[in-house]
Amino acid sequence: MNKATKQISKLFAAMAMAGVASYSVAADTIKIGLAGPVTGAVAQYGEMQFVGAKMAIEQINKAGGVNGSMLEGVVYDDACDPKQAVAVANKIVNDEVKFVVGHLCSSSTQPASDIYEDEGILMISPASTSPDITSRGYELIFRTIGLDSLQGPTAGNYIADHVKPKNVAVLHDKQQYGEGIATAVKQTLESKGVKVSLFEGLNAGDKDFSAMISKLKQAGVDFVYYGGYHPELGLLLRQSSEKGLKVGFMGPEGVGNKEISAIAGPASEGMLVTLPKSFDQDPKNQALVAAFKAKNEDPTGPFVFPAYAAVQVIAEGIQKAGDTDTAKVAAALRANTFDTPTGALSFDAKGDLKDFSFVVYQWHQDGTKTEAPLN
Amino acid sequence: MSSAITKNLKIAFFSALLVLAVAYPVLGLKLTIVGIKLEVQGASSAALWAIAAGAIAMFFWQLFRSQLGTAWSHAPKLPRMPSQASDFLTQPSTQRWFILALVLVALSWPFFGSRGAVDIATLILIYVMLGLGLNIVIGLAGLLDLGYVGFYAVGAYSYALLSYYYGLGFWVCLPIAGLMAAFFGFILGFPVLRLRGDYLAIVTLGFGEIIRILLRNMTWLTGGPNGISNIDKPTLFGLSFERRAAEGMQTFHEFFGTAYQSINKVIFLYLIALLLVLITLFVINRLLRMPLGRAWEALREDEIACRALGMNPTVIKLSAFTLGATFAGFAGSFFAARQGLVTPESFTFIESATILAIVVLGGLGSQLGVILAAVVMILLPELMREFSEYRMLMFGALMVLMMIWRPQGLMPMQRPHLELKP
Amino acid sequence: MPDLYHYLQQLVNGLTVGSTYALIAIGYTMVYGIIGMINFAHGEVYMIGSYITFIVIAGLAMFGINSLPILMIAAFAGSIIVCSAYGYSIERVAYRPLRGGNRLIPLISAIGMSIFLQNLVLLSQDSKDKAIPNPLPGNFVFGESTMNGVVISYIQVLIFVVTFLVMVGLTLFISRSRLGRACRASAEDLKMANLLGINTNNIIALTFVIGAALAAVAAVLLGMQYGVINPHLGFLAGIKAFTAAVLGGIGSIPGAVLGGLVLGVAEAFGADIFGDQYKDVVAFSLLVLVLLFRPTGILGRPEVEKV
């Protein structure tokens, strides 16, 4: 790219940013790349991540920035497409951005993280839960969310110990996230001697699950675990109740979204969900929740607070390291504990959170949730 | 009032209403989730004014269309390309020089392009290769193939699987991937090639989807939706471009005693892509002059005449289909190497549509056209990245406008031809 | 007889899904019959129709109106008007300037249009899934209980009835009315029809409008049955309907309906036997198999090759 086009693209970037929030573009800024889907089918989850990260940047800047420099968020759209994620990663290298909060989809995060690690860029993903991402011995790759392999056992144990069903169906949406969790749940259930009579994928984006429901009826299932996101489970709940299939349902944090009650209505009453502790319900986060609401933004999405925490951890890591050198910051991240709205975070050698616990919630038809009873 | 004005008024009124009906419900009203209930909210007043202004503009434009039309004809015309120049540009010999010039530019690109630019160029080269391959099938043999991405997937997974299970390197797998894709092309092409036109289109689309769904569902072999990750990058005669070499390997920078530079890896990948494109160009150019290439084009122009001349259409079609698939296989295995990760979601229908758009935009059958169109189609969304959310909207609109503005393609190719004058 | 009930239920499931494919497929088949092009943007018109349905229903609910007949009439009216406007405009903007050239050109234009419309709605209505409650809850149950019997919801019955009525009405329109005759003449030979004094431009526009209106009908019915929409649902629906149209023999209206039903039933049983994730594989394999033995679809006319 020559100088002229670079100038133009900077201009556009500035224009784009101006619409989002008023950043003080001082000479001395630390750029943070916010990478995730702005377009494409999962743009709504990308939005959660951007909302959280931008809020953190704004608040940190208001409080005086990091070591005297201001943070600047730059949004990069990968459309949740691995090919575009590589292009975005290379663009981030080009733009000399040293810190990245993203990406969202594990399949984008993985190829992008290869490049970040190689180029000395520190990346924190607030949303990618695939265990593979941090299992490769990388130094600069972190995440502020729990792993699939953590959530599965929590759900499986709860089903086996408290629901005690006779015959379980484990369904998933044939995507990295959903199938990963569903497999973990199935293994936990089987190890505890619970019968899993059906383990099957369905097509994300489908609207009609009547064939699947008939199959569940025939298999005589009395409990269904679904690994995936809320639109499909919402439809599954809705159509099950319409077709008279009365069984218990459970899902991971991807279904723990108010909209599932909008889709399923009364059928969502009593559904079980494993969620990270719901940060927006935490009394100590009320000021932050109010700040989101003041900007007319939704703080309830599962990735809003982890994204906020990711930015905060980067900022404090830079402060602790006293430098923006990413290797030093990474060392600081591993050495310290950070008090964030998602709790006190500390990272293990792989870059995963040391303890991140999931809680089983019971869902209600008005979109609220309470902790599930342990009987 | 004369009837012409009444008629114009009617048309104008109708057009203005049409604008309102199209724009207002979608742009002027917004479904919003309040709590768990759905509510309809009005858009900003600016949006409403814009819609009203659009309707009024449409009204007056239709009302005074004939007057404006005459006024327009007096206005200075946009400079048009003189017919001689366009004739010159579409001559095969000129295009050959153009391609040569482009190759020279491509060769020198890594020396002045930045890292991101070289990376994008690599992506463009992948699409050039895919476009050239599909060009054989659609542009030359006239077979509408909407499932081309399936063969691309076969190539990518061939390398990924061989590397994952048997640890084979890129250079060994490249020809195998091409052969695998060719094999699939042959097997799938055999039963369906007697279908015509749009039937062939939907069947190939179906095959593309079947391949993707099977890759996604056969978790035991392909890793399912996770795909296969950590695929090795290509090496240069056994020299790796990684920072730390795997066991028993040497890295490029150690061998030459230079400091590690990560950009070398990007440039090396780019050069491999360029090499593959050059080979593709060369092979296709040779084929075009062989009887087989001539037969493809003859078949596209008139199948019945070909049959009457004793040519076997099935064999000719099958050869085009198989060869096209082979190049997709090469491109696929390179894609896997560049990406380091293959997942089924990289091979959706929209990918086929993009490749098809490259071929049509370039001008069916024209190799220079395919190259230019690949540059446009890949660069455009990248340049529009700054508009983030408006990016795909503009991309779609540009696809429509391009087809209206230049339906013959950016750079169509003239065939040597004779015209008989009465 | 739980097994018999199970298979009967799957048959009903398949027929319902199939009817909805059929309604959208008719739009494809009509356009193809007349100008021989695949209108890839048709699925997006369906998607826009669903948004209009939701806007009307949610809007009326805000005024406290929730009597079912009013909701349905308003939704049908709103959706049909807007979709027709879209059908007409799309033809005018993206296809008419391209008529008469290479067949691939309008195809690319259509794909571009489809991307454009999808992103237009994505921008103006955002990407979240929108949902409404089922306005017509309730079932007919045949057999012992909902768990052991065949369950058919009221909306499913409505979908069957409407699809059937639409097919009969359209067939009558095409075969009996003056405009229908003009449509058939244009389908037979566009140039000749033009020479004989038929305004083929209007006929083509009419085809697009009818196709879009049917997509709107499908959008209202499906919007009510599933109750969930997002800007991405048009693509999948479009591909499926297109497959149904080709399966039945593209260009034939009863063919589109038959193709839709066959496809729906095949998917339901495919999901039952091989698992839901193989549903689309079953659908496409069926298409390939049928075309191998009947290269122009189930009810398609064999093409005559002209020199």
Q: Is A373 on the interface with C (CB under 8 A)?
A: no
> Could you tell me the two tokens for A185?
């749940």
DSSP type of residue A353: B
Q: Is the pLDDT of residue A21 over 60?
A: no
Q: Is the pLDDT of residue A241 over 60?
A: yes
Give chain C positions within 8 Å (CB) of A43.
Answer: 122, 127
* Separation in Å, CA of A213 to nearest CA in chain B: 20
Give residue B74's pLDDT: 62
Under a CB-based contact definition with an 8 Å cutoff, are residues B189 and B197 in contact? no
| pLDDT band at residue A3 under the 50/70/90 scheme | very low
Contact between A16 and B345 using a beta-carbon 8 Å cutoff = no
- The CATH number fitting domain A3-145+303-341, selected from 3.40.430.10, 1.10.760.10, 3.40.50.20, 3.40.50.2300: 3.40.50.2300
Domain count, chain C: 1
Query: Is residue C110 in some structural domain?
Result: yes
Query: Is residue C86 in some structural domain?
Result: yes
Under a CB-based contact definition with an 8 Å cutoff, are residues A99 and A326 in contact? yes
Q: Is the pLDDT of residue A237 over 90?
A: yes
| pLDDT band at residue A12 under the 50/70/90 scheme | very low
- When CB atoms are compared, the residue of A82, A90, A136 closest to B339 is A82
Q: Which of A143-152, C65-74, C101-110 has the highest mean pLDDT?
A: C65-74
Contact between B31 and C130 using a beta-carbon 8 Å cutoff = yes
Q: Is the pLDDT of residue B264 over 60?
A: yes
Q: What is the mean pLDDT of residues A192-221?
A: 89
- Terminal Cα-to-Cα distance of chain B (whole angstroms): 51
| pLDDT band at residue C66 under the 50/70/90 scheme | confident
Cα C220 to its chain centre, rounded Å, is 11
- The CATH number fitting domain B89-405, selected from 3.40.50, 2.70.98, 1.10.150, 1.10.3470: 1.10.3470
Contact between B341 and A13 using a beta-carbon 8 Å cutoff = no
* B7-37 pLDDT, tens digit each: 888 888 888 999 999 888 888 888 888 877 8
Q: What is the mean pLDDT of residues B339-346?
A: 87
Contact between B403 and C32 using a beta-carbon 8 Å cutoff = no
Give residue A14's pLDDT: 42
Which A positions 214-273 lie with beta carbon below 8 A of chain C?
A: 214-215, 217-218, 230-231, 234-235, 238, 242-245, 259, 262-263, 265
Alpha carbons C86 and B26: distance in angstroms, whole number: 11
* A83-97 pLDDT, tens digit each: 888 889 988 988 889
Q: Is the pLDDT of residue B409 over 80?
A: no
Contact between B199 and C296 using a beta-carbon 8 Å cutoff = yes
Q: What is the mean pLDDT of residues A271-286?
A: 82
Q: Is the pLDDT of residue A121 over 90?
A: yes
Out of B74-78, B85-89, B405-409, C6-10, least confident range:
B74-78
Q: Write out the residue range of the structural domain in which residue C92 sits.
A: 22-237
Q: Is the pLDDT of residue A25 over 60?
A: no
Alpha carbons C34 and C29: distance in angstroms, whole number: 9
Mean pLDDT of chain C: 88
> Could you tell me the two tokens for C30?
């009509």
- Terminal Cα-to-Cα distance of chain A (whole angstroms): 63
Give residue C305's pLDDT: 52
Higher-confidence position of A123 and C1: A123
Q: Is the pLDDT of residue A223 over 70?
A: yes
| Rg, Å, chain C Cα set | 20
Alpha carbons B334 and B331: distance in angstroms, whole number: 5
Give residue C303's pLDDT: 61
Contact between A130 and B388 using a beta-carbon 8 Å cutoff = no
Give chain B positions within 8 Å (CB) of A75.
Answer: 388
Mean pLDDT of chain A: 85
Residue percentage of chain C with pLDDT more than 90? 37
Element of type H or E holding A233: helix A230-242
Residue in B closest to A135 by C-alpha: B230
Q: Is the pLDDT of residue A72 over 60?
A: yes
Residue in C closest to A217 by C-alpha: C147
Alpha carbons A248 and A243: distance in angstroms, whole number: 14
Domain segments of chain A: what residues?
Answer: 3-145+303-341, 149-278+359-371
Tell me the CATH number for domain A149-278+359-371. 3.40.50.2300
Domain segments of chain B: what residues?
Answer: 3-65, 89-405
Q: Is the pLDDT of residue B386 over 80?
A: no
* A316-373 pLDDT, tens digit each: 999 988 888 999 999 999 999 998 888 888 898 888 888 777 889 999 988 888 888 8
Q: What is the mean pLDDT of residues B341-354?
A: 87
Contact between B343 and A91 using a beta-carbon 8 Å cutoff = no
Interchain CB contacts (distance < 8 Å): A and B: 108
List the subunits that have 3+ CB pairs under 8 angstroms with B: A, C
Give chain B positions within 8 Å (CB) of A9.
Answer: 383, 386
* B142-167 pLDDT, tens digit each: 888 889 999 999 999 999 999 999 98
Out of A29-33, A223-227, C136-140, least confident range:
C136-140
Q: Is A16 on the interface with B (CB under 8 A)?
A: yes
Contact between C6 and A243 using a beta-carbon 8 Å cutoff = no
Higher-confidence position of B131 and C143: B131
Alpha carbons B206 and C284: distance in angstroms, whole number: 5
Contact between B195 and C121 using a beta-carbon 8 Å cutoff = no
Give chain C positions within 8 Å (CB) of A210.
Answer: 13, 16-17, 268
Q: Is the pLDDT of residue B335 over 90?
A: yes
Contact between C151 and A209 using a beta-carbon 8 Å cutoff = no
Mean pLDDT of chain B: 84
Give residue B225's pLDDT: 84
pTM for the model stands at 0.85
Q: What is the mean pLDDT of residues C17-44?
A: 88
Q: Is the pLDDT of residue B273 over 50?
A: yes
| pLDDT band at residue A26 under the 50/70/90 scheme | very low
Quote the strand ranges of chain A, DSSP E: 29-36, 70-77, 99-101, 122-125, 141-143, 167-172, 195-201, 223-227, 248-251, 272-276, 338-340, 343-345, 358-363, 369-371
Q: Is the pLDDT of residue A18 over 70?
A: no
Residue percentage of chain B with pLDDT more than 90? 24
Contact between B403 and C78 using a beta-carbon 8 Å cutoff = no
Q: What is the mean pLDDT of residues C251-278?
A: 91
* Separation in Å, CA of B221 to nearest CA in chain A: 15
DSSP type of residue A67: T
* Separation in Å, CA of B47 to nearest CA in chain A: 16
